[in-house]
Amino acid sequence: MKKNSIKIVLALFVATLIFSSFISNEKKPPYLNPKLPIEERVKDLMSRMTLEEKIAQMCQYVGLEHIKENEAKYTAEQIKKRDDGGFYPGKTSDDIANLVKEGKIGSMLHIVTAEEANYIQSLAMKSKLKIPVLIGIDAIHGNGLYRGATIYPSPISMAATFEDKLNYDCGKQSAKEMRATGSHWAFTPNIDVLREPRWGRTGETYGEDPFLVGNMGTEMIKGFQQGDFTGTEKVIACAKHLIGGGESINGLNLAPTDVSERTLLEMHLPPYKKAVQEGKVFSIMTAHNEINGIPCHMDYHLMTEVLRNQWGFQGFYVSDWNDVERIYSVHNAAKDFKEATLFSVEAGLDMHMHGPQFGEYVLELVKEGKLPVERVDYACAKILEAKFRLGLFENPYVDVKNKDKKVFTKEHQASALEGARKAMTLLKNDGILPLTSTTKKIFVAGPNANNQTTLGDWVKPQPDDKVITVYEGIQSLGKQKGFEVSYSKVAENSKKITDEQINSVVEGAKNSDVVVLVLGENSFRHDWPNKTTGENIDRSTLQLSGRQLEMFNAVKKTGKKVVVVYVSGSLISEPTIEKNANATLFAWESGSFAGQAVAETLFGDYNPGGKLPLTFPRSVGQLQMVYNHKPSQFFHKYHDVAKTPLYPFGYGLSYTNFNFSEPKVTGTINNATDKVTVTVEVTNTGKVAGEEVVQLYIKDDISSATRPVKELKGYQRVYLKAGETKTVTLTLTAESLAFYDLKFNYGVEPGDFTIMVGNSSDDKSLKKTKFKVANRINLKK
C-alpha cells in the first residue's frame, strides 16, 4: 500500500508540475519571453491583436499633466494654432487615462516627470495585452524639458565646435538621463540644412553645410541608439524634419519650400542618407512644410520610394505636431482630416502626433478597402519592435528614488562644459582680449547677461545652482583674478529696454575700464513673451532686436573699451558693432556652463577655437548667402553694399596664429572603393597653445551640371602647443567627389579637382593643389 501511495503522490506531483507549467505558459505568452528573438515576439503579439489594437500603436497623445496645464491656459480655438501645447476638447485627462488602460494609445509625449511616466505605464499594464507606452520627448540638446537635466550646447553651438564626437557624447549621456526619468525616444537630431537664417529654428540646426550637418547629426544618432538601442540606457533617435524647412521661401516656419530637384538631392537629402545608412536611425519625423507643392506628410516619393526602398530605412515615420490635419486645414491638399489621414498613411506615415480621430479614420479607411491592412501591420510591427528592443516589456518603470543619481552627473557636466568651451567663436579682437590688469574694472550689462537665455530653445527653467550665467561666470573668475566686476540689469526683453536703463548702463560704463555687453536673441521656450527667435519666432531682419544697438552706440560714445558677447542661436549681423567694438565673441547658446566658458575665454584661461557653421551676411538683403554657392552667383555686384559676407563660413579667430603648408594628395580615385589622402602641416606660430580647425574643401573644375565654388569634405580640430607643428591627414573617397550629372546619374566625372585646405572657407585662408580623376565612376544613388 505504501508503494502505491508513493506512486500516487508522485503521479499527482508530476501532474501538478505539468499543469502549473501549462498554466504558467498560458499566463506568459511567447511575446513576453525575453529569450525569444524580437521578430518572433512581434509576430506572436500581433497574432493576438485586433485591428483596432494595432491601429492604437500608431496613435500618440500628449501627457496627462500637459493636458491639465493647457486646458487651464487656452481655448479650443487657441490650441489649434499652437505647436507647443495640447489638449483634446471634449476629452478630459481622465478620458485619456482610460484610453491608456484600454490599450488604445501607443505613444505619448510631453511627459516630463518620472512619476507621471510610471503612472502612465501602470495604466498600460492594466490593458489586455499589457503593451507599454513609448514615451517621446524633445531632448534636443540634453533632456531639457526635465528640471535638473544637463543642458548641453544647442546644435548650432555644437556645430561651431567642428568636433563630431561631442555630439556622440551628448546623445549617449542624454539617453541615460532620459531613461532614468522615463522617456525612450528623442525627437532629435534636426538635420535640416540651414539655407535661410531668418528661420527661428536656426539654433536647432547644425548650419548650412550638408556634410557637416550629416556628420554631426549621425554622431548624435549613434550616441542615442548605441547600435540597436537594446537595454535600459539607450533611446530611439528621430531625424527631422523631412524635408527642406531650412530653406523656406520667406524664412517662416511651415512656409513652403520650393527648390529644384538638384538642390533637394545635393543639399537637403545627403544628411538623411547618412542618418539612414550609417546612423541606422530608427525614426524620422516629417516636416510642417510643403516641398515643391507636396505637403511633406503625404510625400510618397521621398518617404517610401527614396528613403525606404532606395536607401533602406528600417524604422518608422512619425508626423510632426498636428501636421496630418494641416494637409487639409492649411495646405488644402485634402477635403478633410479623414482624407488627409489616407494620404499620409499611404505615403508611409506610421504614427500620428497627436490626438484622437486619426485612429478612427485609419480603421474606417481599412474597412472601406481604401487603405491596405498591410500598412497598419507594418507600422504596428515597427513600433512594437522598438518597444521590445528598449526592454519595455520586461520593465516599463523607472526607479524614482535613484533617478537623480543618473542626472547632471560629473561626467555629463564635464562634457557640457567641454562643448561650451569649444563652441566659443571669436569674431574680432583688436588685442583687448584676453583681459589683463590694464582693464581692472569690468562692467557687465545687456539683456542676456544674467539669465538662462544661454540654455537655448527646448529647455525648461533650470535650478539656478545648475546654470552659470555670463555675469556669474565673469564675476566668479574675475574675483579670483583680482578684477572688480560690476553689473547693471536691463530688461530681458530687448524691446522693453528703457531710456533709464540705457542711461544706467552708460553711467556704469563711465566708471569702468572695459564694458562687456552681453547682447543677442532669446529662444528660451518657457519665456515665450520675451522670445525673439526659436520655433515659430522667425525674423525679418538679421540685426539685433529691440534697442540693443542703441545701447551699444550709447556705451561706445563714453570712449570706453567695449567687448560684445553674443548669446544667440541665430546669427547676428551688425556691421556697426563689428566696426566699432574692440572685440566680439559669439557664445551661441552654450548650455549649463555657458557663463563659465565665456569667462574663461575672456580672461584667457581658454583659447577660443570655434568656427562659424554658417555664413554671416552683412544684411538681410544679401540673402541667400552661403559659402557653397554656384559660380555665377556673384558675377555682378550690389550698388550699395559689398558682395562679400560679414564673416565667412568656417571663420573664427584665436589668441595665437597658425600657418598651413601646401596640401599634398596621395593616391588615385579610379573606382568606387578608392581613396586619396590629403596631408597638410599645421604650425602654431604664436606664443600660446591653441586649437585650430583644419578644413578641406574641393571644387570640381569642369562638370556637366554646375557645381558649387567649394564644398566642405573634411575637417579636424587639432591642439597645438606654441611653436608646435603637426601633420593632419584627411581622406577623400569617390563619394566625396560624386554628384548628379546632367542626366541625374550619380557618380564622379573624369577631370581635374581643386583641393583647398585652410582655416575658413575664405579664399584668402586656403592653400590649393589639384588632382585628376581619369575615368567616370558610377555610384549607387
* Residues designated as active site: 320
Say if CB 289 and CB 244 are below 8 A apart. Answer: yes
Order of strands across the sheet that contains 134-137: 185-186, 134-137, 107-109, 59-62, 352-353
User: Distance (Å, rounded) from C-alpha 66 to C-alpha 101?
Assistant: 18
Say if CB 113 and CB 68 are below 8 A apart. Answer: no
Annotate 160-192 with DSSP letters as a single string: HHT-HHHHHHHHHHHHHHHHHTT--EE---B--
Interior angle at CA 595, CA 610 and CA 443, nearest 5: 110
Say if CB 470 and CB 449 are below 8 A apart. Answer: yes
SS3 471: helix
Annotate 629-643 with DSSP letters as a single string: --TTTTSS--SSS-S
Order of strands across the sheet that contains 739-740: 739-740, 746-748, 777-778
Say if CB 564 and CB 584 are below 8 A apart. Answer: yes
β-bridge pairing 107-109 and 59-62: parallel
Say if CB 715 and CB 693 are below 8 A apart. Answer: yes
Place of cell 501532474: 15
CB atoms within 10 A of CB 459: 30
User: Distance (Å, rounded) from C-alpha 185 to C-alpha 386?
Assistant: 10
User: Distance (Å, rounded) from C-alpha 614 to C-alpha 648?
Assistant: 8
Place of cell 563689428: 578
HSE value, Cβ hemisphere, 13 Å, CA-based, for 90: 3
User: Distance (Å, rounded) from C-alpha 760 to C-alpha 766?
Assistant: 7
Amino acid 206 reads Y
Q: Residue 386: which residues within 8 A CB-CB, separation 6 or more? A: 134, 184, 185, 229, 236, 282, 283, 315, 316
Buried b (16+ CB within 10 A) or exposed e, 226-262: beebeeeebbbbbbbbbbbbbbbeebbbbbbbebeee
CB atoms within 10 A of CB 680: 22
Place of cell 546632367: 742
SS3 751: strand
SS3 573: coil
Residue 654 in grid coordinates: 584665436
Annotate 340-366 with DSSP letters as a single string: HHHHHHHHT--BEES-SSHHHHHHHHH
Please report which helix (H) or strand (E) contains residue 740, including its range: strand 739-740
Q: Is cis: bond before 189, omega within 30 of 0?
A: yes
User: Distance (Å, rounded) from C-alpha 737 to C-alpha 711?
Assistant: 10
**Helix/strand/coil percent split, the chain, to 5:** 40, 20, 45
User: Distance (Å, rounded) from C-alpha 338 to C-alpha 349?
Assistant: 14
254 phi-psi bin (left φ>0, alpha ψ -120 to 50, beta other): left
Order of strands across the sheet that contains 711-720: 711-720, 690-700, 751-758, 766-773
